[in-house]
Amino acid sequence: MSSLDLMLINPPCNTVEKVDYLVVGTVLEFNVNAVNPGILSMASYVESFGQSVKIIDLRPNADFEMLRREVRAEQPRVFGVGTTSGWQYLETLRCFEVAKEEHPAALTIGGGQHLGPLGETALRDCSALDAVAVTEGEWIVRELIERIGRNPARLDLSGIPGLLYRDGDRILGDGDHAPPLIDLDEMPFLNFELWPDYRAFTPFVEESRGCPHHCTYCTASHSAKLARASGAHGQRFKSPGRMLAEFDHLASLYGKNVLYALLASTFGVKAAPTLEFLGGMQTRGIQWGTELRADCPWPEYIDKLHAAGARELLIGVESCSTEILRRLRKSADPEGYLRRAEDYIHQAKIHGLYPGINLIAFVGENPRTMQQTMAFLLRNAADLYRVGANSVFLFAGTPLAHQFAELAREFGAERVATPYADKTHCYPVKLSRDLSYEAGAYWCHLLSKTFSCNEINQLGERRYDYSSYDFCLEAGKHDV
């Protein structure tokens, strides 16, 4: 019998069944091959306690027969799959089916941004799925492995916050609370060498988890709600010293001739630790990109960013219409938010950065709100290097999912229910009486193309692949 404690799978995308609606204006236009941060974090955490783990990356080739051979050979005690989007959902369920066919005794667990909030729905969709981690999975997976080790014949899954599980025909567990949230400074360094062919992917450091905001469209709202129910609030941060040590470690693996990603729901929320981090990065010759909000204290450190290696900084504007921003719950002061966003774009360009913005076509969009967004983009076109625009989708666990019936009555919006959307619980949205889903998607595609620079547009399907962003790297700043 194998001694493998944990096998983790990065599932492929849109291969089991093809999407039956327009994909223009969605990430399906692009080849987004990347390390799954949640999977790598769970693997690294479990390994740090001496438990054995193996990662299988199916994203590049969707080789389910290879997965079958791996499960048969390794016979893992726990088999986990993490989904980062609804377009991996059917593939995720297929992974569980393969695992149970080859090793019925394995405990199968799913999670991630899409499957986690589905919870009970996912368990009812797939009889080969035993349990769902509804939010962060590191502590949960380690607890499961330890319980199996103590009593494999009579595994008890009760009393684990953040875990739903199958017991015969019943769905039990606590899906209303988060598990114990681990101090991010206490987490082990990510072991990128666990990831197959890790050098082919963008390296990253995680700055923080969680978000203090409650934007209507965002799946982060689900995890934030569970964290609040468990007594935790807002973001959890790594200390500047910890982040600097992680960058040093990664530079020893990847060198300095790449653009690193700094992962955060919103970077730079606290000025003092951000300034300390930037000061430490000035001597390291590492170049990186991240995302932030217009209302973070960026004026206190924008003049330090370039010297600290920052290059691409995307700002979550979401809409350039104050009406839509209010509906998104992006800011209590949408007029002020847009003024700060415009000022940031201009200042970022002056300070040698590559400013970009993210946009969402949202419920209630109409010719007036579209004109406002276009006017903002035209005013700032000379300073923008990238615009990423997508039409909103309806996902479980978001405030939008709870409010949609009311918004639909008010604006004539509709959930676009196709066979594929019904199976994946990932719905396109007719935005309003004025805009079909297709019209909104094409508009987003047009904005992304028109207001992004030539270097970005020439990347084609690799538009979101940092390993292709050589034009952001500065000569003399990345000697190994």
**What per-residue confidence (pLDDT) applies to 466?**
79
Whole-angstrom CA distances from 102 to 69, 75, 105 are 8, 8, 9
**What per-residue confidence (pLDDT) applies to 478?**
33
- Whole-model pTM: value is 0.93
Q: Mean pLDDT by 10-residue block, N- to C-terminus, for the chain (480 residues)?
A: 86 92 80 86 97 95 95 97 93 98 97 93 97 94 94 88 93 90 95 94 92 79 60 80 97 93 91 98 96 95 97 94 95 96 96 95 96 97 94 91 94 96 96 96 94 89 80 57
**What per-residue confidence (pLDDT) applies to 209?**
87
